Amino acid sequence: MSTNWEQINEYAQQWIKEAGDRIQETFEKELTVQTKSNRKDLVTNVDKETEQFFIERIKETFPTHRVLGEEGFGDDVSALDGIVWIIDPIDGTMNFIHQQRNFAISIGIFQNGIGMLGYIYDVVHDELYYAQKGKGAFLNDQPLPRLQPVSIREAIISLNATWVTENMRIDPKVLAPLVKEARGTRSYGSAALEMAYVAAGRLDAYITMRLSPWDFAGGLIIVEEVGGIVTNLYGEPLHLLGQNSVFVSKPGLHEEILTQYIRK
Active site residues: 70, 88, 90-91, 93, 215
Under the binding rule (CB under 5 A), the answer on residue 70 touching Ca ion is yes
Structure letter (DSSP) for residue 115: E
- Chain residues 90-109 in contact with Ca ion, contact rule CB under 5 A: 90-91
Per-residue x/- mask for ligand 2AM, residues 63 to 82, rule CB under 6 A? -------x------------
CA distance linking residue 8 with residue 116, whole number of Å: 10
| Nearest CB to Ca ion, comparing residues 72 and 184 | 72
Strands across the sheet with 66-69, in order? 66-69, 83-91, 104-111, 114-122, 127-132, 137-139, 142-143
Measured from the CB of residue 232, what is the shortest distance to ligand 2AM in angstroms?
A: 15
198: left (phi over 0), alpha (psi -120 to 50) or beta: alpha
211 binds, among Ca ion, ligand 2AM, none (CB under 5 to 8 A by kind): ligand 2AM
Measured from the CB of residue 47, what is the shortest distance to ligand 2AM in angstroms?
A: 8
Residue 83: φ, ψ to 5°: -100, 125
Exactly one of 12, 15, 50, 88 binds Ca ion (CB under 5 A); that residue is 88
Task: Answer for the pair 83, 109: CB distance below 8 angstroms, yes or no.
Answer: yes
Task: Answer for the pair 243, 210: CB distance below 8 angstroms, yes or no.
Answer: yes
18 binds, among Ca ion, ligand 2AM, none (CB under 5 to 8 A by kind): none
- Chain residues 197-226 in contact with Ca ion, contact rule CB under 5 A: 215
Exactly one of 44, 50, 93, 185 binds ligand 2AM (CB under 6 A); that residue is 93
Query: Does 91 appear as a known binding residue?
Result: yes
- Chain residues 154-173 in contact with ligand 2AM, contact rule CB under 6 A: 160
Q: How far is CA 6 from CA 3, 59, 135, in A?
A: 9, 18, 12
Alpha helices (H) along 62-189: 93-99, 172-181
Per-residue x/- mask for ligand 2AM, residues 177 to 216, rule CB under 6 A? ------------xxx-------------------xx--x-
Strands across the sheet with 205-211, in order? 184-186, 156-158, 205-211, 244-249, 229-231
Task: Answer for the pair 116, 110: CB distance below 8 angstroms, yes or no.
Answer: yes
Binding residues for Mg(2+): 70, 88, 90-91, 215
Binding interface with ligand 2AM (CB under 6 A): 37, 40-41, 70, 88, 91-93, 160, 189-191, 211-212, 215
